[in-house]
Structure 1
Amino acid sequence: MEKIPKVEYWVITHSLPHQRRRDEEHQEVIGRIIKKHRSSPQAALIKDLNPIIRGWTLYHSNSDAQTAGELTRQDYLTYLKLRRWALHRWVSLNAAHTKYWKTVDGKKWVFATREGDANPLRLLKHSEISCSSNSYVKLKGDKSPYDGDTIYWSSTLGTQPEMPGRKARVAQATKG
């Protein structure tokens, strides 16, 4: 009986140093904004943080940040900074959580303020904004937008400037 050699190997993945630095810089920006709003109301803090979070997440929307867990990591680090901000304003953590984290639209632990029951002002999470590299459409390697095959391009992408919208929808529904 022949013995099969056992092959063992480890794959070590490292995030790129410049990418890790950018992520840390993003958290530093968030930390500076939170520190600046140490005595400001919660609504002012949320209004300043939302554009920063949305912009950073949309910038990384074409990367694989969501599947790599980077967005949830950013959410966690932001939560830690907000928890420290809340503890600075309240003595107990329980009272701070009750005051600043709410249940909004069935989602628990949302950093939000109630300005009326209808429309709460809430902080965006990094992982809420849809971004994934899995939503890309696979294309054939020998196809070009300039080869004149409008049916292929309208059926795969759903839009082709030279084809009317109705024909493009029919081509997409019938897969060509």
Structure 2
Amino acid sequence: MIGTIGLAEVARARGEDELASQRYRAAMPLTHRTLARADPWLLLLAGAFLSAHALMGRADDPAAPGVAGAVRDLVLGDQRSRYVQADRPVLGAALVGVAAWRAATAPDDLACLDMLAVAEAMQSRQDFPALDRRVHWARAVEQFGPDAVGDARVRARALPREAVVPRALDLLRAVPDTH
């Protein structure tokens, strides 16, 4: 899985977006087959998948709504009570992905800024270039303006430590179910 994601990121860096997308999609079934439900790698992969597709201008990939829904279901628990228990940086990485995807597919939804700010407060993992918050903040400033971005960051920084995860869960609950 990690090797496939790495190859996807290399293809993305080279501008080979179709190949990158194919490699990300190829990693998804592998993850579902081989990882236990409590393994956080699925959330990292989902965050990277969504972020990379948003960065490539491919947020409309047919798999993206299902990936975003899987993040929500895995974090919040779906009807079968299956969920992933993840630490803050891993949950933050998944939030980065959902935020990037929402910014691309629901461009008027300011909640994506709050997701990105909460991910930053969680010190989200940035194992893959697609998860680099600096890139997403730069895009957010272009899309929403510096005031909206600054306000979201201030709100997240003002959260007490014990309120950060509940805020992340509330933001995920608000993501429409599209899968």
TM-score by length of 2: 0.30
Q: Which has the higher helix share?
A: 2
Q: Which has the higher strand share?
A: 1
